[in-house]
């Protein structure tokens, strides 16, 4: 990596300013609709099965093909983002899932909808990789955990948004308008995000020093407000990182940790949370009441992300991940025994809080911090590829467990994955709290 521009140290010493908020909201707007598209499948599936547009065996097909697309999109974003830049990649994926959303709304049958959902998945997988990774490269280390966890909060806001909107829209107008909303929102954000700058760290790492310097001067003028800025740390020689480095002794443990935690959180969300309306429906709860229950649970997702945002910087990444895993295991072990509505909602709410503390940390904060700038998107993309890849088969496992053992069988799978996650993070996980990205590159252990 070239160091003459010293982009990392210069970015890290900037005071929080309108620049950071502008970048946050420009990226966050796209990430919100990404989250909306991600969660809209739960409400749509419940309504599609209830209206006989789909039959229950098509539910895991819909989910699995979504994740085939997301798996491809994750890898695609990694290579495109590291080669052609963050800016090109996040605009490209917004167009993909925006246009595919309109195709889904026009689906004449379930096979068409499954195919459209696959294409949407390509855009969704790409957006998650490039959005988090790009924001990581702009914010200072002292508050990076809060910024990134709140980015996850924006994504997760798609959960209650889809739950609330679907509660009003689906009973009266059916599920198709849910995809129209996603498509319109994505294309509006695509237009607004044309003004989002490239990552100076990426420019410097790709030997585009003149562009990096010009951009840094513009950023410094906006962030300083005309006041003197602190002197940045002196530039130091940085290691050279290539794709092969991801499989070296320095980075392979990080790749394993990132893959395990994303396999776990993807299975928790898309093997349990996304199935909630379907679980409720199969348990004899009406579509209207099941959607209302899902709205209550969705509040736990926002509470969890907010707790994750505070704890990421206060306690550190590893203690928060392990603590939230334990909380989720305890609530998950109790939940199947809740029969009456009130304890069901209370324990379910706590369970969702635990899951979304992990969501904020694992999606939003931790995995994008693990890898050097030159390979950040490819490393993050590979972890997401494996995480999404696991969810290609998990819907079929979830359906089999649910038919044989009910919700208790599904949660048994989740608890087993959480135990594995605790062990892996405790042994191989690194603590990234308050450490600059360049420091993490220099100290790979």
The predicted structure's pLDDT at residue 81: 94
Distances in whole angstroms, Cα of residue 126 to Cα of each of 31, 74, 179, 385, 394: 11, 5, 19, 10, 21
The predicted structure's pLDDT at residue 338: 72
Query: Lowest mean pLDDT: which of 17-21, 156-160, 310-314?
Result: 156-160
Average pLDDT value for residue range 225-233: 86
For residue range 83-138, what is the model confidence (pLDDT) as tens digits?
Answer: 999 999 988 888 898 999 999 999 999 999 999 999 999 998 898 899 999 999 99
Distances in whole angstroms, Cα of residue 340 to Cα of each of 8, 253, 255, 280, 344: 54, 45, 43, 13, 6
Q: Compare 134 and 156 and report the one with higher pLDDT.
A: 134
The predicted structure's pLDDT at residue 336: 77
For residue range 169-210, what is the model confidence (pLDDT) as tens digits?
Answer: 998 899 999 999 999 999 999 998 888 899 999 999 999 999
For residue range 55-91, what is the model confidence (pLDDT) as tens digits?
Answer: 888 887 888 888 889 889 999 999 999 999 999 998 8
For residue 292, is pLDDT > 80?
no
Residue 425's pLDDT band, with cuts at 50, 70 and 90, is very high
Tokens of 227: 């006041």
Q: Which of 230-234, 301-305, 391-395 has the highest mean pLDDT?
A: 301-305
Average pLDDT value for residue range 381-409: 85
Distance, CA of 189 to CA of 219 (rounded, Å): 22
Residue 294's pLDDT band, with cuts at 50, 70 and 90, is confident
Average pLDDT of the residues of the chain: 88
The predicted structure's pLDDT at residue 167: 84
- Cα 320–chain centre separation: 17
Q: List, in order, residues 6 or more apart from 432 with CB less than 8 Å away.
A: 317, 365, 366, 369, 370, 440
The predicted structure's pLDDT at residue 211: 95
Q: Which domains does the chain have, with CATH numbers?
A: 14-227+245-436 (1.20.1250.20)
Tokens of 58: 């098509």
For residue range 10-39, what is the model confidence (pLDDT) as tens digits?
Answer: 999 999 999 999 999 999 998 998 888 877
The predicted structure's pLDDT at residue 283: 59
For residue 445, is pLDDT > 60?
no
Nearest to 55 by CA among 281, 242, 312: 281
Whether residue 33 contacts residue 158, with contact meaning beta carbons closer than 8 Å, is answered with yes
For residue 270, is pLDDT > 70?
yes
The predicted structure's pLDDT at residue 1: 41
Q: What pTM, to 2 d.p., does this model score?
A: 0.86
- Cα 110–chain centre separation: 27
For residue 3, is pLDDT > 60?
no
Query: Lowest mean pLDDT: which of 235-249, 278-292, 416-430?
Result: 278-292
């Amino acid at each position: 990596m070239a160091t003459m521009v010293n982009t990392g140290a210069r970015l890290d010493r900037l005071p929080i300013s309108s620049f950071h908020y502008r970048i946050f909201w420009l990226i966050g707007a796209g990430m919100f609709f990404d989250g909306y598209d991600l969660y809209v499948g739960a409400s749509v599936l419940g309504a599609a099965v209830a209206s006989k547009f789909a039959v229950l065996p098509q539910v895991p097909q819909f989910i699995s093909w979504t994740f085939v697309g997301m798996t491809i999109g994750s890898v695609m974003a990694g290579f495109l983002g590291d080669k052609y830049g963050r800016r090109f990649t996040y605009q490209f994926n917004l167009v993909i899932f925006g246009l595919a959303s309109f195709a889904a709304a026009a689906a004449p049958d379930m096979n068409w909808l499954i195919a459209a959902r696959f294409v949407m998945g390509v855009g969704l997988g790409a957006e998650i990789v490039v959005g988090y990774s790009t924001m990581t490269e702009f914010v200072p280390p002292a508050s990076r955990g809060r910024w990134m966890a709140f980015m996850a909060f924006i994504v997760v806001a798609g959960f209650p948004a889809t739950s609330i909107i679907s509660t009003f829209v689906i009973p009266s107008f059916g599920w198709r308008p849910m995809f129209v909303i996603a498509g319109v929102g994505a294309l509006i954000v695509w237009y607004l995000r044309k003004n989002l700058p490239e990552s100076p760290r990426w420019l410097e790492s790709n030997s585009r020093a003149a562009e990096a310097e010009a951009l840094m001067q513009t950023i410094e003028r906006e962030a300083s407000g005309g006041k003197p800025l602190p002197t940045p740390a002196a530039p130091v020689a940085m290691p050279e990182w290539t794709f092969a480095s991801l499989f070296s002794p320095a980075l392979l443990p990080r790749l394993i940790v990132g893959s395990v935690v994303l396999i776990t959180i993807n299975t928790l969300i898309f093997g349990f949370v996304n199935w909630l309306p379907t679980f409720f429906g199969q348990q004899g709860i009406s579509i209207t009441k099941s959607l209302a229950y899902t709205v209550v649970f969705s509040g736990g997702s926002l509470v969890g992300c907010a707790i994750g945002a505070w704890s990421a910087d206060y306690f550190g990444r590893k203690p928060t991940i392990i603590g939230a895993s334990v909380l989720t295991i305890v609530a998950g072990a109790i939940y199947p025994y809740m029969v009456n509505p009130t304890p069901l909602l209370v324990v379910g709410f706590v369970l969702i809080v635990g899951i979304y503390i992990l969501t904020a940390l694992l999606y939003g904060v931790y995995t994008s911090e693990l890898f050097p700038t030159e390979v950040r998107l490819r490393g993050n993309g590979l972890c997401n590829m494996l995480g999404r890849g696991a969810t290609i088969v998990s819907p079929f496992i979830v359906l089999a467990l649910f038919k044989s053992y009910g919700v208790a069988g599904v949660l048994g799978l989740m608890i087993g994955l959480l135990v594995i996650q605790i062990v892996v993070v405790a042994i191989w996980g690194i603590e990234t709290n308050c450490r600059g990205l360049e420091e993490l590159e220099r100290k790979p252990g």
